[in-house]
């Protein structure tokens, strides 16, 4: 649990590109008798988009929840800017990391503008609050949600809600952004938009961790890919080194082949399909 003391919050400083801002060491998590994370080591670095990939049940969301202290590890440690989470106040944590969960439930009929404004809460009363209006406007613009500002969040479609939730996280302007399957309810255009926003955010010197099931998106936009299988990280490196046919076929238990995007050089994952229903002529 984070400390709660009455003192001025320690504001985050800037990090050099490539500097480790969050470190996970030998972390294991158990739910009952099932071990869902097993001795995980991972560094999250400034200026980088890190994609977490792996089949359902591999431990990706659990890893995010360990980082945020929503799940307790049975062993290992997580340090943020060199200190464990409990060394920071809740406000200091919110200044340093913003989290977008798979499901964002807002029961009260807040407008979209009010929801995005919630992202500025950690900066209330600080000099940074003077930029609230500009930052909120920029977050709405980048997520293409400006047209929804007066609508109730509960009236939006699943994909629209996901983009508004992302705008709230962007408005938080934290040095680490953790996104758990943000593109799941989105069409292809907005999936590309979200990953493009993630790249822009990392380009400012921040760190972005994104759980994504679409391996093509990971290959196209991530600087690093960490692949989990049965609670372990089985590969961690540049997309071209991790997204190989042999590794994906083994981890996902389904054969794939890898093509190369002719424009970007990024790996494209193509399932090996057997066509049925055709009759020989």
Checking if the pLDDT of 4 tops 90, the result is no
Span 254-281, average pLDDT? 85
Tell me the per-residue pLDDT of 27-48, one tens digit each, with 9 for 90 and over.
999 999 999 999 999 999 999 9
Checking if the pLDDT of 1 tops 80, the result is no
The CATH architecture of the domain made up of 20-246 is 3-Layer(aba) Sandwich (3.40)
Checking if the pLDDT of 8 tops 50, the result is yes
Answer yes or no: are the C-beta atoms of 79 and 93 closer than 8 Å: no
Where do we find the tokens 């709405």? Answer: 140
Span 252-260, average pLDDT? 97
As a whole-number percent, the residues of the chain with pLDDT over 90 amount to 85
> How sure is the predictor about 2, in pLDDT bands with cuts at 50, 70 and 90?
low
What are φ and ψ of residue 244, in 5° steps?
A: -105, 155
d(C-alpha 94, C-alpha 172), whole Å: 8
Model pLDDT, residue 209: 98
Model pLDDT, residue 102: 79
> How sure is the predictor about 278, in pLDDT bands with cuts at 50, 70 and 90?
low
Span 98-105, average pLDDT? 84
* pTM (2 d.p.): 0.92
Average pLDDT, the chain: 93
Model pLDDT, residue 281: 44
Checking if the pLDDT of 6 tops 80, the result is no
Span 90-99, average pLDDT? 94
> How sure is the predictor about 167, in pLDDT bands with cuts at 50, 70 and 90?
very high
Model pLDDT, residue 274: 81
Checking if the pLDDT of 107 tops 80, the result is no
As a whole-number percent, the residues of the chain with pLDDT over 70 amount to 95
3-state SS, residue 211: strand
Q: How many residues does the chain have?
A: 281
Phi-psi region of 95 (alpha: psi -120 to 50; beta: other; left: phi over 0): alpha
Span 163-173, average pLDDT? 97
Checking if the pLDDT of 276 tops 70, the result is no
Phi-psi region of 253 (alpha: psi -120 to 50; beta: other; left: phi over 0): left
- Pairing between strand 75-80 and 20-31? antiparallel
Model pLDDT, residue 163: 95
Span 127-150, average pLDDT? 96
Model pLDDT, residue 31: 94
């Amino acid at each position: 649990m984070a400390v709660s003391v009455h003192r001025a919050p320690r504001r985050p400083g800037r990090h050099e590109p490539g500097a480790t801002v969050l470190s996970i060491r030998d972390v294991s998590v158990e739910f009952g008798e099932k071990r869902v994370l097993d001795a995980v080591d991972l560094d999250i670095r400034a200026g980088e988009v890190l994609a977490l990939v792996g089949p359902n049940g591999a431990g990706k969301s659990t890893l995010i929840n360990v980082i945020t202290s929503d799940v307790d590890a049975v062993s290992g440690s997580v340090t943020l800017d060199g200190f464990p989470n409990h060394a920071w106040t809740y406000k200091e944590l919110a200044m340093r990391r913003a989290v977008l969960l798979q499901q964002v439930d807002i029961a009260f009929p807040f407008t979209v503008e009010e929801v995005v404004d919630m992202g500025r809460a950690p900066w209330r009363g600080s000099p940074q609050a003077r930029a609230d209006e500009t930052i909120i406007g920029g977050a709405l613009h980048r997520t293409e949600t400006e047209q929804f500002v007066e609508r109730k969040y509960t009236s939006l479609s699943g994909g629209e809600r996901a983009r508004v939730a992302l705008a709230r996280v962007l408005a938080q302007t934290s040095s680490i952004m953790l996104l758990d399957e943000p593109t799941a309810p989105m069409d292809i255009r907005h999936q590309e938009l979200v990953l493009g926003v993630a790249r822009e955010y990392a380009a400012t010197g921040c760190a972005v961790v994104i759980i994504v099931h679409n391996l093509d998106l990971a290959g196209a936009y991530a600087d690093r890919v960490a692949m989990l299988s049965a609670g372990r990280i089985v590969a961690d490196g540049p997309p071209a080194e991790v997204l190989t046919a042999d590794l994906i076929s083994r981890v996902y238990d389904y054969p794939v082949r890898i093509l190369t995007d002719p424009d970007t050089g990024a790996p494209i994952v193509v399932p090996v399909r057997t066509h049925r229903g055709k009759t020989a002529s």
